[in-house]
Amino acid sequence: AQKVTQAQTEISVVEKEDVTLDCVYETRDTTYYLFWYKQPPSGELVFLIRRNSFDEQNEISGRYSWNFQKSTSSFNFTITASQVVDSAVYFCALSEWTGTASKLTFGTGTRLQVTL
């Protein structure tokens, strides 16, 4: 069975600090996809990134960067120079293709609080 672990329940940082959100996953699939979603106070889940299991290149998008390491089954997310607007719950997810459905297995989320 697939599993995603986000060990950090809640993180508090002061604005402009860098912060890394950890994600560790378990799967027996050789091909899979990893995702990060952001849930701001408004409630919707906002898609941030999708990463193919064959692509271990790190990705940077503005202040966001992702470090995918297959050897340690981790897909960590770093926010550089955090801002108050980054305050949200962040979910890491792993896709499982069952042959008929692409299910997502989510971690329990990490609540990030950025203060002034």
Partner 1 sequence: EAGVTQFPSHSVIEKGQTVTLRCDPISGHDNLYWYRRVMGKEIKFLLHFVKESKQDESGMPNNRFLAERTGGTYSTLKVQPAELEDSGVYFCASSQGQGSTDTQYFGPGTRLTVL
Q: How far is the CB of 94 from partner 1 (least distance, A)?
A: 11
DSSP code, position 100: S
Nearer to partner 1 by Cβ, of 36 and 86: the residue is 36
Q: How far is the CB of 78 from partner 1 (least distance, A)?
A: 21
Nearer to partner 1 by Cβ, of 70 and 103: the residue is 103
Please count the CA atoms within 13 angstroms of the CA of 27 that sit on its side-chain side. 24
Where do contacts with partner 1 occur on this chain (CB under 8 A)?
4, 31-33, 35, 37, 42-47, 50, 91, 93, 95, 97-98, 100-109
Q: How far is the CB of 79 from partner 1 (least distance, A)?
A: 20
Nearer to partner 1 by Cβ, of 73 and 106: the residue is 106
Burial zone of 68 (CB within 10 Å; 0-12 exposed, 13-18 middle, 19+ buried) = buried
Beta strands in 15-84 (DSSP E): 19-21, 24-26, 33-39, 46-52, 59-61, 64-69, 74-79
